[in-house]
Structure 1
């Protein structure tokens, strides 16, 4: 029972009962209910955002997130193992297969190149385990790219293996002048004294002295690219494109026995020793190119001389004497 309240009427000198309006009572009730509901809602929000109030669905989701994080860690360990295996394959590819087939190794920069442009992993950001997911996805992408590069490389190696016979035939592997026709190996690859100026300069080929008219042989299979006197100082000369990055040059010839565009085999006679151009005496000046760079021809005589002969010619070639051109 609600309390009855009174007030003192000073005019009538008497206590009178205070009458509460029904509308005001209703307002108090509504205000109480609204404030109670608002307070209850705030308490509810606080509870659902704490670990003390978890629904069964929240617990399932938490277990799923924990399982996913564990799976990502396991995946990273598998990626470590895959990287080790791939690195071993890449090492064999560069240091065994590509060396065997005389082809350029794939650079580390090309193999390990990342991805430029826009942020590929924007959708993975903003989560509790974003860093783990983003790093794992990056590793998978990079590993996938490396596998594609390695797969293409192995396809190239397979193609080279199928062409091995052609490759071996194309490599300039014999002396351009037979030993029995040689007077001597006059000058080798390296710094030599110029016969005309007497200045020490680099000699990019090997000089074989022989009588004028001595046959000159193609040192590998290929196509005659030039047979003319267009290069200054070389006189009559021949250039043969062997393919696989190889090219040979034969200079100071007395005459030709081939023509541009002609396909030749290793051991075919292509011309004869002479002393045309910038030459001091009859000899053959011989150069070998690999991928556009001059290399020492001495490294390619394994197809025509014995080990003993190779040692002897190597000693002569390495003497810092005077060249003939």
Structure 2
């Protein structure tokens, strides 16, 4: 049972009973309802704007994410620089190094090929910055592959350079008798008069007239394959295998300074001028073979003759005189 409430009436100087007014409850209800609606609206506004309200932890994570994006941007700039440098190296590799060493250029499709087959970047997908991360990872992988291709190419160039150096050292390239020791260049490569039969026949070498005992030098690096007098007409002679299809022969020697199987370097003393075998006078008969065929030795003196000396020797070698063997 609700309590009865009174109020003091100052006019009548008496207490009067408080009568409940009609509609009061309704007003209170409506006021409460409006308060609830207003509170709900305010809560809705707060909820809708909640993404824009950041906690300290969210702010720190956002700064970290922004820094990572900056680092990725810097990484891509570094990759652009590396790609530029690598492209210049590849261009020199194809158009200079490989041309010089007679190697086929590496196709562009092989240098910049991607990676087919399975998706290598599946684990990087599904995040806010997946596109950036996948693109950078793919670019870095391709750059790494290009570096591997270029590294292998440079290894090949180094090997070719070493072989080229060995080839240049092996090719007969000097005159086997020094100019100051020569009496004259007696006969060259071509048809000459035989000193014994007086018939014209092909002379397959060059004859260098010099006193007996004049030093003879190896014209290129190689291995001595013969140092004997068992070949008809050559007397005491030496053969040197230079590799790469080249061989040199030194005939009519007085004596040897090397033995069979010995390795020699260009300029090494291998023997001395004599007149053994089918020879008319002391001289060195010199021949060069390429793949088993005799070729003109006149083209193999670039290592120690000046242009003027070479021109003079060429003129003498072309004279159709008498050979000494």
TM-score range, shorter chain: 0.5 to 0.7
Q: Provide the residue aligned with 1:173 in structure 2.
A: 173
Q: Secondary structure at the match of 2:313?
A: helix
Q: What is the deviation of 1:157? A: 8.2
Structural mapping, 1:72-151, within 5 Å: none
> Equivalents in 2 of 1:156, 1:278: separation in Å?
49
Q: Provide the residue aligned with 2:239 in structure 1.
A: 239
The reply to whether residue 227 of structure 1 matches residue 227 of structure 2 is: yes
Q: Provide the residue aligned with 2:320 in structure 1.
A: 320
Q: What is the deviation of 1:161? A: 3.1
Cα deviation 1:124-165 (Å, max 9, x = unaligned) = xxxxxxxxxxxxxxxxxxxxxxxxxxxxxxx99875433111
Larger Cα-atom Rg: 2
Query: Unaligned regions of 5+ residues in structure 2, if any?
Result: 1-93, 104-154
Q: Secondary structure at the match of 1:163?
A: helix
For residues 259 and 191 of structure 1, do their structure 2 counterparts lie closer, same or farther at Cα, with a shift above 3 Å needed?
A: same
Runs of 4+ deviating beyond 2 Å? 95-98, 155-162
- Structure 1-normalised TM-score? 0.53
Contact 2:101 2:161 in 1 (8 A): no
Contact 2:194 2:323 in 1 (8 A): yes
User: Please, what is the CA RMSD of the aligned residues?
Assistant: 2.7
Q: Provide the residue aligned with 1:255 in structure 2.
A: 255
Q: Provide the residue aligned with 1:145 in structure 2.
A: none
> Equivalents in 2 of 1:276, 1:234: separation in Å?
7
Q: Provide the residue aligned with 2:202 in structure 1.
A: 202
Q: Provide the residue aligned with 2:267 in structure 1.
A: 267
Q: Provide the residue aligned with 2:214 in structure 1.
A: 214
Q: Secondary structure at the match of 2:270?
A: strand
Q: Secondary structure at the match of 1:315?
A: helix
For residues 96 and 203 of structure 1, do their structure 2 counterparts lie closer, same or farther at Cα, with a shift above 3 Å needed?
A: farther
Q: Provide the residue aligned with 2:283 in structure 1.
A: 283
> Equivalents in 2 of 1:192, 1:255: separation in Å?
27
Q: Provide the residue aligned with 1:55 in structure 2.
A: none
Q: Secondary structure at the match of 2:312?
A: helix
Q: What is the deviation of 1:230? A: 1.3
Q: Provide the residue aligned with 2:76 in structure 1.
A: none
> Equivalents in 1 of 2:216, 2:169: separation in Å?
18
Q: Secondary structure at the match of 1:319?
A: coil
For residues 164 and 175 of structure 1, do their structure 2 counterparts lie closer, same or farther at Cα, with a shift above 3 Å needed?
A: same
Q: Secondary structure at the match of 2:323?
A: coil
Query: Unaligned regions of 5+ residues in structure 1, if any?
Result: 1-88, 102-154
Contact 2:172 2:219 in 1 (8 A): yes
Contact 2:188 2:207 in 1 (8 A): yes
> Equivalents in 1 of 2:158, 2:291: separation in Å?
21
> Equivalents in 2 of 1:314, 1:97: separation in Å?
30
Structural mapping, 1:297-312, within 5 Å: 297-312=297-312
> Equivalents in 1 of 2:226, 2:209: separation in Å?
23
Q: Secondary structure at the match of 1:275?
A: coil
Q: Secondary structure at the match of 2:315?
A: helix
Contact 2:210 2:283 in 1 (8 A): yes
Q: Provide the residue aligned with 1:186 in structure 2.
A: 186
Number of aligned positions between the proteins: 183
> Equivalents in 1 of 2:206, 2:172: separation in Å?
14
Q: Provide the residue aligned with 1:31 in structure 2.
A: none
